Amino acid sequence: MNNVARLLSADAPSTPKLSPATVVSAGPQVEVERTDGQVVSVTLATAAPYRPTCGDQVLIIGNDEGWYVIGVITALGPAALEVEGDLTIEAQGQVRLVGRRGVAVEGPEVQLKGKRLLSLFDSVTERCTNLFQSVRELASRQAGRVETTVEGTHHTRAKNANIVTRERVKINGKTVHLG
């Protein structure tokens, strides 16, 4: 009976071990170096999405049947949240995005929807191929001064137009047509 028990236990998997490790390969197959120097392939099993970078310190668990990354101790690469398909971030309160060195939003189409858009900046630069704006009621702009440079023709169409100045109006052109 004693011999049978030994034969069965020899085929049983070894006890899982918990250990820190260093990521040494972050390609399609992730490999880590354990503290004993052995390099093993691992399966990512972290609670949050994680993109490994060589040099990251991770927490692994496993045995001869397989090793799993179950935590990240130190990540050297940028944090990334990647999902297949759509992603929604929703809060009952306010959602804030703060980047100490900037915030970038990219996409083939970017939509902003809401009841009101409030933008407060020291400086704004916009560059585009075409700009189309449609305002149903009032479009108002207040400025210290306005300068418009048009390479081609400038057209303004309105039912009525008023130009009101406190001082002078200057029209300078090779030919000026009125009426």
Please report the domains of the chain, with CATH numbers, ordered by start residue. Answer: 16-74 (2.40.50.140)
Question: What is the per-residue pLDDT for 1?
Answer: 52
* CB-CB neighbours of 34 under 10 Å: 17
pLDDT of 11 reads 60
Express as a percent the part of the chain with pLDDT over 90.
Answer: 75
Number of residues that this document lists for the chain: 179
3-state secondary structure string, 140-176? CCCCCCCCCCCCCCCCCCCCCCCCCCCCCCCCCCCCC
Separation CA 171–CA 97 (nearest Å) = 48
pTM value? 0.58
